[in-house]
A and B are shown apart, each in its own frame.
Chain A
Amino acid sequence: MTYPRKHLLAIEGLEPPHIADLLDLAESYALLNRSGKTQRDLLKGRTLINLFFEDSTRTRTSFELAGKRLGADVINMSVSTSSVNKGETLLDTASTLNAMHCDLLVVRHGQSGAPSLLSQKVDAAVINAGDGTHEHPTQALLDALTIRRHKGRLEGLVVAICGDIAHSRVARSNVHLLTTMGSRVRVVGPPTLIPAEASRLGVEVFHDMKAGLAGADVVMMLRLQRERMSGGLVPSAREFFRFYGLDAEKLAHAKPDSIVMHPGPMNRGVEIDSAIADHPTRSVIGEQVEMGVACRMAVLDVLAHGLRRNV
């Protein structure tokens, strides 16, 4: 297993063998988790801190479980309600963490680049758990693993990522990962929610959802933040659902065996119809959560190899 960096801050810049190795390792953790066995010696004596500047239940819990299954001491810090509001800066937080001898630091922050800034100041290996509108690398890994388990490969697949691409870190990480692995990636959404020069990222841009879904193997929906409507980027939830919400009629344009994904939490009736979200064969949303734990175990595993042996 080769992973070239101390931190996992972004998918952009990783090469196909790094991604493939991470997915293989995650696959083996998925099997281990299903078998009910654990491997609690790998991170024994290591401290993992979940530093969340934004609320998150799913991602934080997933990292917590991953850390515990590998034997780490896991501490959750939700900073949105504590010292940062009292004027403590991000870098003050970094020196606090250094003093606590944290080994692995999982960071979620509302600002793009915040984990990168922290990584320059802390001794720990930093894992980006979502920064602003930049990246969410472990989400892309778990999405790729889920796709691979269903389709057997990533190369050559048509993947349509739909909705608010402009403000989505999930979309960016997925675009980087899937284009690197040879998938044909489309982004689908109204022009106000497509970022500038999106096609320069190696994707095809669609504003018509049926055209965007035509022949797709994978349909990946994104969460539409409510504030996008108050900001005027889309006029209303009902108009958005009419043109860009995933329902049976639009999904019929994708391949008959296509799978439907969503990073959660879902806005039912805004970007996805409940009948699709809960579809027994097409929806793999529950499996994404399962693969999330496995992928995060794989990431903790490879980053632990780079840690100094100080225990």
Chain B
Amino acid sequence: MADTLITNARLLDPASGLDAPGALLIRDGLIADCGAGLTAPEGAAVVDAAGACLAPGLIDLRANLGEPGAEHRETIASAAQAAAAGGITTICVLPDTDPALDDPALISFITRRGEATGSVALLPYGAATAGCAGKELAEFGLLREAGAIAFTDGARAIASARTMRLALSYARAFGAFIMQHPEEPSLAAGGAATEGELATRLGLPGITPAAEAMMVARDIAIARITGGHVHFAHISTAAALDLIRAAKAEGLAVTCDTAPPYFDLNETAIGDYRTYAKLSPPLRTEADRQAVVAALVDGTIDAIASDHQPRDADDKRLPFAQAEAGGAGLATLLGVTLARVHAGDVPMLTALGLLTARPATLLDLPQGRLAKGAPADLVLFHPDRGWKVEAGKLPGKAQNSPFDGRALEGRVLGTWKAGRRVFGG
């Protein structure tokens, strides 16, 4: 493959703190060089970025892709299309599929299916428990050998404290973290919205926001006695963030992520029973949203994940409490994150770091940085170019975006996976 030189770009590398004009040279799927004053080698293809931003391809820490078992909602091929259009070059895939990813053969199946797309690497999580059923531990060692990056039961909380203790202890032997869906299930059962005035007015069964904080508190206590690494998914409340902040200060192996709905929307988005805004955990109050924004900036949150949960029309065109929770998030991950940058809430490199270098560090991945020798996974985007999120017109199969109708600034112009252009151009 011929070399490619992307010139006239604003290079953004959160890992090194670089934010400067320059060029980047791709050779043999790797970043051969980047910086100012690069010239195109003989025979190289030249891409003029015209001043647009060039950053590492995004690493999505958590997405459900529909395969295996829910191909009517999304397939790996359709998700890959949405990912490329969204500047995502690595997706960490949730294991609560049908069947669950609790067998080494299924882990390699997902990895191979990712390779076959040619546009996005798929890094599967292994199930924390057999069938993601919350009872017996899955075979962490064998799953890890097959390529599992960490262990989780996906959108199902590991409810039993004893099971969580065993998982956090045992996973230490294989250097992997346990990712928890932090929600006390007995308090969340049957709930459809955050408990409070709005849910009361709409007559919807509520979930107290304390269901998140109490599961976080419990698992921090278990991390303390086991020395294991617990990672909390999609943190959405101030109370949980305070607990995580304190645990980090204590030196415990505790990390967390959030997803764009929790820093861009609040509970009022469910408005007149809008089921596209029904998520798990549910959208919170404005005060909690602001706490999530503050935790993006102060480092308490380690990553922003798309939390892509594909749903089809039959899942969503129902009365609110009966509709499935979950939102599509691949195509909007970058744009909604940039909205916080445009609002002046989060600095550009901090925001991009949460989508690249920081999840890379968490998973010890070589990608996620603009460094010589790193994989040439790249996204080129115009930070100000506007577009409107329209369900029905999004790339990929899943159209259930909670951001339907939202105007965004920040448009992906090109995506490169291992040096090959997979979107734009």
Minimum CB–CB distance for A43 against chain B, Å: 28
Minimum CB–CB distance for A132 against chain B, Å: 5
- Mark interface residues in A43-59 (1 if CB within 8 Å of B CB, else 0): 00000000000000000
Q: Given A111-B319, A114-B319, A117-B273, does the pair A197, B196 have CB atoms closer than 8 Å?
A: yes
- A195: Cβ under 8 A from any B Cβ: yes
Asked whether, in the complex, the Cβ of B273 is within 8 Å of the Cβ of A196, the reply is: no
Inter-chain contacts of B208 with A (CB < 8 A): 196
Q: Which of B31-39, B131-139, B197-205, B325-333 lines the interface with chain A?
A: B197-205
Q: Given A112-B273, A116-B273, A117-B273, does the pair A132, B200 have CB atoms closer than 8 Å?
A: no
Asked whether, in the complex, the Cβ of B317 is within 8 Å of the Cβ of A89, the reply is: yes
Residue in contact with A132 in the complex, picked from B196, B272, B314, B321, CB distance below 8 Å: B321
- B16: Cβ under 8 A from any A Cβ: no
Query: How far is A113 from B277 in the complex, measured between Cα atoms in Å?
Result: 14
Query: How far is A34 from B200 in the complex, measured between Cα atoms in Å?
Result: 38
Asked whether, in the complex, the Cβ of A109 is within 8 Å of the Cβ of B319, the reply is: yes
- B195: Cβ under 8 A from any A Cβ: yes
Inter-chain contacts of A283 with B (CB < 8 A): none
- B320: Cβ under 8 A from any A Cβ: yes
Asked whether, in the complex, the Cβ of A135 is within 8 Å of the Cβ of B195, the reply is: no
Inter-chain contacts of B206 with A (CB < 8 A): 196
In chain A, what residue has the closest Cβ to B314? A89
- B160: Cβ under 8 A from any A Cβ: no
- B322: Cβ under 8 A from any A Cβ: yes
- Mark interface residues in A173-210 (1 if CB within 8 Å of B CB, else 0): 00000000000000000000001111011000000000
Inter-chain contacts of A134 with B (CB < 8 A): 202-204
Inter-chain contacts of A195 with B (CB < 8 A): 200
Asked whether, in the complex, the Cβ of A196 is within 8 Å of the Cβ of B203, the reply is: no
Number of interface residues of B (CB under 8 A): 21
Q: Given A135-B203, A172-B201, A196-B206, does the pair A113, B196 have CB atoms closer than 8 Å?
A: no
Residue in contact with A131 in the complex, picked from B196, B200, B203, B322, CB distance below 8 Å: B203
Asked whether, in the complex, the Cβ of B203 is within 8 Å of the Cβ of A132, the reply is: yes
Asked whether, in the complex, the Cβ of B320 is within 8 Å of the Cβ of A112, the reply is: yes
Query: How far is A133 from B193 in the complex, measured between Cα atoms in Å?
Result: 14
Interface size class of A (residues with CB under 8 A): 20 to 34
Q: Given A132-B203, A134-B203, does the pair A112, B321 have CB atoms closer than 8 Å?
A: yes
Inter-chain contacts of A169 with B (CB < 8 A): 203
- Mark interface residues in B192-236 (1 if CB within 8 Å of A CB, else 0): 000111011111111010000000000000000000000000000
In chain B, what residue has the closest Cβ to A114? B319
- B318: Cβ under 8 A from any A Cβ: yes
Asked whether, in the complex, the Cβ of A201 is within 8 Å of the Cβ of B199, the reply is: no
Q: Could you tell me which residues of chain B, from 293 to 341, have a CB within 8 Å of some CB in chain A?
A: 314, 317-322
Q: Given A89-B314, A112-B273, A196-B206, does the pair A117, B319 have CB atoms closer than 8 Å?
A: yes
- A91: Cβ under 8 A from any B Cβ: yes
- Mark interface residues in A112-131 (1 if CB within 8 Å of B CB, else 0): 11101100000000000001
Please name 19 further chain A to chain B contacts, defined as beta carbons within 8 Å, in addition to the given A111-B322, A113-B202, A113-B203, sorted by A numbering.
Answer: A12-B201, A89-B314, A89-B317, A89-B318, A90-B319, A111-B318, A111-B319, A112-B273, A113-B273, A114-B319, A116-B273, A117-B317, A133-B203, A133-B205, A135-B203, A169-B203, A196-B197, A196-B206, A198-B200
Chain A interfacial positions (CB closer than 8 Å to B): 12, 89-91, 109, 111-114, 116-117, 131-135, 169, 172, 195-198, 200-201
- A–B complex contacts, Cβ < 8 Å, 27 sampled: A12-B201, A90-B317, A90-B318, A91-B317, A109-B319, A112-B202, A112-B204, A112-B320, A113-B203, A113-B204, A113-B272, A113-B273, A113-B319, A114-B319, A116-B273, A117-B319, A132-B203, A133-B203, A133-B204, A134-B203, A169-B203, A172-B201, A195-B200, A196-B197, A196-B200, A197-B196, A197-B200
